Amino acid sequence: MKLSASGDDLGSDIHVPADIDWHMLDKSKFFFLGAALFSGVSAGLYPAMVLKTRQQVSSTQISCFKMSFSIMRCEGLRGFYRGFGTTLMGTIPARALYMGALEVTKTSVGRSTVRLGFSDTTATAIASAAAGLSSAMAAQLVWTPIDVVSQRLMVQAPNASPCRYKNGLDAFRKILFADGFKGLYRGFGISMLTYAPSNAVWWASYSVANKLIYGGLGWSDNIRRSESKATAVAVQGLSAAMASGVSALITTPLDTIKTRLQVLDKEENGVRKPLTMLQTVRNLVKESGLAACYRGLGPRWASMSLSATTMITTYELLKRLSAKNQES
């Protein structure tokens, strides 16, 4: 998003490479290439998500190494990709909603904040935060049911007897039959509470870090375009890693509670019922105190940092590839 420069910005000699606005994109190419690129990213990062989920639902603290060894020994490589097919199916519409809401909001809010007299840096941060908030809310409409189903498959042991799910479709059908439509939206409220503010903070932090790093590098207009692109990728990756570290640390307790709400049940008189948020928190504290809320922090932090770095560089590449009338 290219915002008009203002006098109190990082300096008149600083040139942050112009972003590509929503109206400049070939929408069909943007969504098609986006689905392909982000599917590849999801495949690479999925094992870390399986580790994180299993650690969060475990009643005892288990290290990443022991958990990885156990999965490989008992289930083989396939164990690290349980539920991946379901996740991949959901990623395409969820990402489409996410990217569409992100770009539309960022462009419209960015222009409005500039007209209100905010500096370029402040306007970018506000627009990015609003875009992050709206895109996360839009994506969760699709992602929460996918999350519920895929996480059930992730934590399922190979030879589990009760409520054994054959595949994603079977899990979807059984959850719908047992709990109704609301069963697919377990943890929707806390998902919004976790991802919407986190996404807003991440995008705002990323945009500010991006500008500050460019300012520190002394990026000027006379830098050749070929050099600018290489530097831009490095700056984008560093900014993304910085923004995701803090976000993971703040939101992991909420993510742990969300995962348990979506996966675990209680049993009363032989009938399985969903846990409430209060019961989930009480069980966590009873198991290992407040430290239990940070189970899975390691793989989640690594996954978020790698995902954010890969996502933002892929996203910027996607926008360049999807720009209208671009020269080869």
Question: Band of the pLDDT at 219, cuts 50, 70, 90?
Answer: low
Residue 245 within any structural domain of the chain: yes
Residue 222 within any structural domain of the chain: yes
Q: Which range in 29-33, 199-203, 324-328 is most confidently predicted, on average pLDDT?
A: 199-203
- The per-residue pLDDT for 228 is 57
Answer whether 49's CB lies under 8 Å from 303's CB.
yes
Residue 65 within any structural domain of the chain: no
Range of the domain at 293: 27-33+44-57+186-321
Answer whether 200's CB lies under 8 Å from 130's CB.
yes
Mean pLDDT for the stretch of residues 3-30: 48
d(CA 218, CA 212): 10
d(CA 328, CA 308): 27
d(CA 60, CA 69): 16
Residue 21 within any structural domain of the chain: no
Residues 6+ apart with CB under 8 A from 212: 10
Residue 293 within any structural domain of the chain: yes
Per DSSP, the three-state class of 59 is: coil
Residue 11 has pLDDT above 50, yes or no: no
Number of domains in the chain: 1
Give the model confidence (pLDDT) of 76-99 as tens digits.
888 899 889 888 888 778 878 888
Residue 9 has pLDDT above 70, yes or no: no
Residue 218 phi/psi, 5-degree rounding, is 70, 40
- The per-residue pLDDT for 61 is 79
Residue 10 has pLDDT above 60, yes or no: no
Residue 281 within any structural domain of the chain: yes
Residue 267 within any structural domain of the chain: yes
**Percent of the chain, pLDDT > 70?**
84
Question: Band of the pLDDT at 206, cuts 50, 70, 90?
Answer: confident
Question: Band of the pLDDT at 230, cuts 50, 70, 90?
Answer: low
Q: What is the mean pLDDT of the chain?
A: 77
In this predicted model, which residue has the larger pLDDT, 233 or 10? Answer: 233
DSSP string, 105-124: HHHHHHHHHHHTT--HHHHH
Q: How many Å separate Cα 153 from the centre of its chain?
A: 19
Residue 223 has pLDDT above 80, yes or no: no
Residue 15 has pLDDT above 80, yes or no: no
Give the model confidence (pLDDT) of 108-159 as tens digits.
888 888 888 887 778 888 888 888 888 888 888 888 999 899 998 888 866 5
Q: Which residue type is seen at 263?
A: V
Residue 326 phi/psi, 5-degree rounding, is -80, 150
Mean pLDDT for the stretch of residues 56-62: 82
Residue 1 within any structural domain of the chain: no
